A and B are shown apart, each in its own frame.
Chain A
Amino acid sequence: MVTEEEIEQVAKFMKIDVHNHKEYVEKVHNMIDFFDILDSAGVEEEEVTMNDLPLSTLREDKHIPFEDKLIEKLKNFKGTYVRAPKMI
C-alpha cells in the first residue's frame, strides 16, 4: 500500500512542489493503485526483451569544430562568471 508520505517524498526528489496541492497526491495515489493490476499479469517468469541496435546505425564519431564560446550563450552569464542559484 503506497502512502501519501512516499508520494510526497518522490515529488521532492523530482523537484516538484506538492505541499499545497493535495489533489495531486490523491490522484497519483489512485493511478498507482490502478497499476496494481500488473500483479495479476502472471509475468514473473517472463524475460524483458530489448531491441539491439547495431553500431552501424550510429552516425560517424568525428570531431566537428565549434568556435563559439558556449559559456557566453548562457542567459545568466555576467561577463566573467555565471550567476546560478545557491547550492545548500
Chain B
Amino acid sequence: MNLKISALEFVEQVKNGNISAEDFVSATIDRIKNIDEKLHAYLQVNSKAIEQASQIDKKIKSGEKVGKCFGMPISVKDNICVKHSKTTCASKMLENFVAPYDATVISKLKEQDAVFVGKVNLDEFAMGLTTEFSAYGPSRNPWNTDYVPGGSSGGSAVAVSAFECVASLGSDTGGSVRNPASFCSTVGYKPTYGLISRYGLISYANSIEQIGPITRTVKDTAFLLNILSGMDSHDNTTIDNGQVDYLSCIDSGIEGKKIGIIQEMIGEGIDPSVLSATNNAVSKLEGLGAICESVSIDMVKYSVASYYTITATEAGSNLARYDNLRYGYDFPVEGFEFNSYISKARTKFGPEVIRRMILGGFVPSAGHAGKYFLKALKVKSKLTKEVSEAFKKYDYLVAPTVPVLPFKIGEKIDDPIALFLVDINTVLSNLTGIPSISVPYSISNGLPIGIQLMAKPNDDKSLLQVARALESTVRLPEVPV
C-alpha cells in the first residue's frame, strides 16, 4: 500500500475504488507501529481507527452519502479535545484527563468521515519550539532523528512528514504550526485569526492562537480549510468567511502580484543556507511574474519580546485553573493547607510552563505592567499598523519561516532566550492576526528549509494561491525515514 500520497489523492483513490479506507488506515497503523518508536510522534493511537474506516467503506459500498474525507487518517495535536479520548497537552497535569466533548474542528471532520488515528506530541501546553518540553519525551525529526522536529506541533509535523497520517491538526500561537512544518518539510498553515474555531482547543493564549492544518501539499491545506473554517456559536471570535471555496482557482498564478521581502527577517543571525534558499525562492516568484521588493517593518525587532510578554500574561491566567480542584492530577486534600495544596499540584508542570506562568504573573503586575505588558500591547498595535501599511503596497509578504536550520536535540533547551529568537519570523502574523503559510522549499545538508508567505487579514484564499505557485517550482527529495 502506497502511503506516500496527498489527502486529495487519497480521496480520489478511495472514490475510484482503487483502495479502501480500511486498507489504507490499516497500513497507516502498521507504519506507526514500525517507525514511531524511533520518532515518537504519537502519544496515543486510536485502537478503533481500522474499524471506523471499515464502517466508512460500508457506507461507500452501500451508496450512502459519504463525507468529503472518505476515511482519511488524520492525527490531532494533543491539546485539541476529542470526546472520550485522553487530552494531555503533553503534561503530567492532564495525564488522565478525558475530554467530555469534541472540539468544533473535530466535530466538523467527523461529519466529513475523517478517521482520527491518534493524538500527537507537542511541547507541554503548546509552550515551546522543539517538542523537547513534552512531559512524555521529545519527538524526533524524520529527516535526521538527532535533530528537533520543531514545535510546539512537532508531533503533527513528524507524523505527516513520515507518512504516519495524511494530515494533522496543530495549533499556532507564535509559529507552532509553521515552525515544525518548516523543520520537517511539510506545509503548515496559520489562518486569519477567527477563521477556525478555537472551541475545544485547550487555551494557552486566546487572543493570538489558531488551530491550523499540517499537510503534504498546499491543495490539501485548502481542502481542509474548506471543512474547518467558518463561524461557530461556541467561539465568539470566529468570523464569517462568506463560504469561500479555498480550492477553487488555486492554480490561478501570481502574474503581476507584488511581494514584499521583510528585511528584518533576513538580517543578522540568519543561516547562510536559509538566506540562499530565500533568495532563490524570491527569484522563482519573480520568474512566475511577481514583482518582489524589499520592505522594512521596524517593529519586527521588538515582536518577540512583545509576543512573549502578552502570551505569558494570558498563559498565567489560562493555566490558573490547574489547581487539582477543577483540573489536574488527583491527590487527597488531607494534610494540606489551600495554598500549599495548589503549589503541590503545580509541581506537575514542566520547567518551561512554570517559567512562563511566573513571567505571566510578573509582567502585568502592579509596578511592572506599564514597563512590560502595556508596552508589549503598544508594540503589537504599532506592528499591526506597519503591516497594514505594507499591505497597501504589497499583495503578500515573504520571509524564511525560521532563520536557522533545525538544530540538535538538547542544543538550545537550556537557553530560553535563544529559543525565543527562533520565533522571530513567525510571531508577526500571530500578533497581527494575518494568515501565513510555510511552504517546504529546499533541503540543506539533509535538513529542511521552509519559506513563509503572508497575506492581509481574510485574504486566505489568495495566500493559498501564491503558496501553490511557489510550491509548483519545488521538487524535494523523499524523507529518508
Is the CB of B377 closer than 8 A to any CB of chain A? yes
Q: Are A38 and B376 in contact (CB under 8 A)?
A: yes
Residues of chain A lying within 8 A (CB to CB) of residue B299: 41
Q: Are B361 and A76 in contact (CB under 8 A)?
A: no
Residues of chain A lying within 8 A (CB to CB) of residue B372: 32, 35, 38
CB proximity of B199 to chain A, nearest CB, Å: 11
A13-B340 Cα distance, complex, nearest whole Å:
12
* A13 to chain B: closest residue by CB: B361
Q: Are A16 and B376 in contact (CB under 8 A)?
A: no
Most buried by B among A16, A27, A35, A88: A35
Query: A41-B302, A48-B374, A88-B338 known; A24 and B382 CB under 8 Å?
Result: no
Q: Are A38 and B302 in contact (CB under 8 A)?
A: yes
Of A14, A30, A46, the contact of B357 (CB 8 Å cutoff):
A14
Most buried by B among A44, A48, A83: A48
A19-B355 Cα distance, complex, nearest whole Å:
14
Residues of chain B lying within 8 A (CB to CB) of residue A83: 333-334
Is the CB of A69 closer than 8 A to any CB of chain B? no
Query: A41-B378, A41-B379, A46-B382 known; A34 and B362 CB under 8 Å?
Result: no
A56-B57 Cα distance, complex, nearest whole Å:
41
Of A16, A37, A59, the contact of B305 (CB 8 Å cutoff):
A37
Q: Are A85 and B354 in contact (CB under 8 A)?
A: no
Chain A, residues 17-49, CB within 8 Å of chain B (1/0): the string is 110010010011011101101111101101111
Is the CB of A58 closer than 8 A to any CB of chain B? yes
- Give the segment of B164-172, B211-219, B230-238 that binds chain A: B230-238
A14-B325 Cα distance, complex, nearest whole Å:
15
Contact residues of B between 361 and 387, Cβ < 8 Å to A? 361-363, 365, 368, 371-372, 374-382, 384
CB proximity of A38 to chain B, nearest CB, Å: 4
Residues of chain A lying within 8 A (CB to CB) of residue B238: 57
Q: Are A28 and B382 in contact (CB under 8 A)?
A: no
Main secondary structure on A side of the interface with B: loop
- Give the segment of B13-21, B65-73, B342-350 that binds chain A: B342-350
Is the CB of A71 closer than 8 A to any CB of chain B? no
Is the CB of B306 closer than 8 A to any CB of chain A? yes
Q: Are A28 and B341 in contact (CB under 8 A)?
A: no
Which size bracket describes the interface of A in this complex? 35 or more
Query: A10-B362, A47-B381 known; A30 and B416 CB under 8 Å?
Result: yes
Main secondary structure on B side of the interface with A: helix
Residues of chain B lying within 8 A (CB to CB) of residue A64: none
Query: A10-B361, A15-B343, A86-B338 known; A48 and B308 CB under 8 Å?
Result: no
A2-B368 Cα distance, complex, nearest whole Å:
9
Most buried by B among A6, A11, A13, A38: A38
A38-B108 Cα distance, complex, nearest whole Å:
41
Residues of chain A lying within 8 A (CB to CB) of residue B363: 32, 35
Residues of chain B lying within 8 A (CB to CB) of residue A38: 302, 305-306, 309, 371-372, 375-376, 379
Q: Are B343 and A16 in contact (CB under 8 A)?
A: yes
Is the CB of B330 closer than 8 A to any CB of chain A? yes
Q: Are B359 and A28 in contact (CB under 8 A)?
A: yes
CB proximity of B298 to chain A, nearest CB, Å: 9
Q: Are A17 and B355 in contact (CB under 8 A)?
A: no
Residues of chain B lying within 8 A (CB to CB) of residue A32: 359, 362-363, 372
Q: Are A10 and B358 in contact (CB under 8 A)?
A: yes
Chain B, residues 167-206, CB within 8 Å of chain A (1/0): the string is 0000000000000000000000000000000000000000
Q: Are A18 and B358 in contact (CB under 8 A)?
A: yes
Residues of chain A lying within 8 A (CB to CB) of residue B233: 59
Q: Are A24 and B351 in contact (CB under 8 A)?
A: yes
A41-B174 Cα distance, complex, nearest whole Å:
20
Chain B, residues 55-94, CB within 8 Å of chain A (1/0): the string is 0000000000000000000000000000000000000000
Is the CB of B5 closer than 8 A to any CB of chain A? no
Q: Are A11 and B361 in contact (CB under 8 A)?
A: yes
CB proximity of B435 to chain A, nearest CB, Å: 16
Of A31, A40, A41, A57, the contact of B382 (CB 8 Å cutoff):
A41
A18-B339 Cα distance, complex, nearest whole Å:
14
Q: Are B416 and A31 in contact (CB under 8 A)?
A: yes
A10-B356 Cα distance, complex, nearest whole Å:
12
Residues of chain B lying within 8 A (CB to CB) of residue A21: 354
Query: A14-B361, A15-B342, A18-B358 known; A87 and B371 CB under 8 Å?
Result: no
A82-B209 Cα distance, complex, nearest whole Å:
36
Residues of chain A lying within 8 A (CB to CB) of residue B336: 85-86
A51-B357 Cα distance, complex, nearest whole Å:
25
- What are 17 inter-chain pairs, A to B, with CB distance below 8 A? A7-B358, A11-B358, A13-B365, A14-B320, A15-B323, A24-B351, A31-B355, A31-B417, A32-B363, A34-B417, A40-B302, A43-B378, A53-B237, A57-B231, A84-B325, A85-B340, A88-B338
Closest 8 CB pairs between A and B? Answer: A43-B378, A85-B341, A59-B233, A46-B378, A14-B361, A15-B342, A38-B375, A57-B236
